[in-house]
Amino acid sequence: MKRYLLLILAITTFISCNDDDDDYHDYHLEYTEVISADVPEEFEFGRTYRVEVTIELDDSCHFFYNQYDYFYEGTSRLIYPIVHIDDGIPCTPNIREVTFSIPVQALQTEPYIFKFYQGEDADGQDLFLTIEVPVV
């Protein structure tokens, strides 16, 4: 019985290590621009809110898997949505908008300053859609 289990384990290991995968392709991740953001007019201290963020995917090779970087910078929050882009395969034009939400719990008394990534300027500096939300 032990030999039988070892044989099954060896076969399973061999098959799982087979790298002859026709579906494999290269990809990379990059930040994408925010088109719009829907935030409450004000936050009540201690409550949790959902900030709705809309991005645009350029073609059939762009995918959004609800990934974003969320950085703290004093009272500011910098939001960078991340897209998955397939490389080395043909893409078709398929522009579409995707909206996702970010939970925000109001835990500071100062206004929140949201900075949503909107690309780079000619000098390579990040551009942002900036929205300030007071806390009451």
Pick the residue with more confidence: 124 or 10?
Answer: 124
105-126: average pLDDT: 96
Locus of tokens 């900075």:
115
The answer to whether position 6 is within a domain reads: no
| pLDDT tens-digit series, residues 11-42 | 555 555 555 555 667 999 999 999 999 999 99
Structural domain including 63 reads 23-133
Is residue 9 domain-resident? no
- pLDDT tens for 62-109 read 999 999 999 999 999 999 999 999 998 999 998 999 999 999 999 999
Considering its fold, how many domains does the chain have in total?
Answer: 1
**In the 3-class helix/strand/coil scheme, how is the chain assigned residue by residue?**
CHHHHHHHHHHHHHHHCCCCCCCCCCEEEEECCEEEEECCCCECCCCEEEEEEEEEEEECCEEEEEEEEEEEECCEEEEEEEEEEECCCCCCEEEEEEEEEEEEECCCCCCEEEEEEEEECCCCCEEEEEEEECEC
The per-residue pLDDT for 94 is: 87
| 92 located within any domain | yes
Cα radius of gyration rounded to whole Å, the chain: 22
2 located within any domain = no
52 or 10: which leads in pLDDT: 52
pTM attached to this predicted model: 0.80
Average pLDDT over residues 114-122: 97
pLDDT at 13: 52
Q: Is the per-residue pLDDT at 1 higher than 60?
A: no
pLDDT for the residue numbered 5: 47
Interatomic CA distance for residues 78 and 106, integer angstroms = 16
